[in-house]
Amino acid sequence: MEQTEPRFEQLYENTKQGVLKYIASKCINICDIQDIYQETYTRVFEALSKGKQIKDEQAFVIGTAKHCIAHYYTAMQRLRARVSLSAKGSDEDIGDIPSGEDIELAVINSELFDQVFREIRSQSADVQRMFYLHYFMDLPLEETARILKMNENTVRQRLYRAVRLIRRKYTRRKEDD
C-alpha cells in the first residue's frame, strides 16, 4: 500500500487533465462528469493496489474511463427504468448559511445559479459539454472544439447562442420583477 499511493499520485498528476477532458467530451450529461471521473480513478487505484503494471499511463486511464462511462450509463438506464429521477430529492449538504445582510444576496445568487444551471441542462448534450469544457475547465474555444471533434466556429456559435438566450431570459425576469 505504501508504494501504491505515491505511484497513484504521480499517475493522477500526469493524467488528470487529459482524462477529465475525455470524460467531459463523452458524457451525456454534465452532472455525470465528476461521478465518472471519481469512479475512473478509484478503479485505477484498485488496479495499482493489485500490482498492475502500466506501460502507457494515459492509455490505461482513458481505457478505464471509457469502461466507467459505459458502465455508468448502463446502470443509469437500469435505475431510470425502476425509479423516476424527477422525484429524486437532494441529500447534499447546502454548506454554510450566511448571516445578516448577506443572506438575501446569497439566496438571490443561489436562485440565479440554479436557474442558469437548469437552462444549461436544457440544452443539447453537445452544448452542455461545450459549457463544461470552456467555462468550467476554462479551455479556449479552439481546444474545446478539438476535444469535441467539432469546427471551432460551430462551437463558438452554439455557445454564444446559448449565452445570449440565458442573458435574454435573465434580463426579462429582472425587468418583470
Question: What DSSP letter does each residue of 117-140 carry, written as one string?
Answer: HHHHHTS-HHHHHHHIIIIIS---
Matching fold, domains 4-85 and 98-176:
no
User: Is 41 in contact with 7 (CB distance < 8 Å)?
Assistant: no
Neighbours of 133 (CB within 10 A): 26
CATH 3.10.28 for domain 4-85: no
Task: Round to whole Å and give the CA distance between 26 and 22.
Answer: 6
Residue 164 CB contacts under 8 Å (≥ 6 apart), including other chains? none
Question: What DSSP letter does each residue of 83-115 carry, written as one string?
Answer: S-GGG--------PPP-TTHHHHHHHHHHHHHH
Task: Round to whole Å and give the CA distance between 161 and 88.
Answer: 31
Task: Round to whole Å and give the CA distance between 76 and 39.
Answer: 14
Q: Which residues of the chain are modeled with pLDDT < 70?
A: 1-2, 75-110, 172-177
Q: Domain locations in the chain?
A: 4-85, 98-176
Degrees, nearest 5: CA angle 133-136-141: 40
What confidence score (pLDDT) does residue 77 get? 63
What confidence score (pLDDT) does residue 86 get? 38
Coil/strand/helix, residue 150 = coil
CATH for the 98-176 domain, from 1.10.10.10, 3.50.50.60, 2.160.10.10, 3.40.50.720: 1.10.10.10
What confidence score (pLDDT) does residue 43 get? 95
Give the rounded distance of the alpha carbon of 60 from its chain centre.
21
Q: Give the pTM.
A: 0.63
